[in-house]
Amino acid sequence: MIQQVQAWLKNRRRHRLEREARELDDLIRRAHLYTHNAFVASVLFHRQRKGYITSRQHRWLRVIVHREYLNSHCA
């Protein structure tokens, strides 16, 4: 019984990490459309240089990309 619960937790964590990776890839793909924004460009350059994005950059990148999307499509 304990092994089943451990296997379920491991599988659940793996699926969560895969989902987060897919969401980050989608965010990066959408962010490339808004490289005219200085923050977006700096985050993408940091990712290219270092190979990762910090959680703080990720959080703000989501906000900025959403704002840029609204400005370009709804305004």
**Mean pLDDT, residues 8-13 taken together:** 96
* Beta carbons of 21 and 53 less than 8 angstroms apart: no
State pLDDT tens for residues 16-35. 999 999 999 999 999 999 99
**Mean residue pLDDT across the chain:** 93
pLDDT of residue 32: 94
Q: What percent of the chain has pLDDT over 90?
A: 88
Q: Would you list the domain boundaries of the chain?
A: 2-74
pLDDT(72) > 90: no
Classify residue 51 as left (phi > 0), alpha (psi -120 to 50) or beta.
Answer: left
* Three-state SS sequence of the chain: CHHHHHHHHHHHHHHHHHHHHHHHHHHHHHHHHHCCCHHHHHHHHHHHHHCCCCHHHHHHHHHHHHHHHHHHHHC
State pLDDT tens for residues 61-71. 999 999 999 98
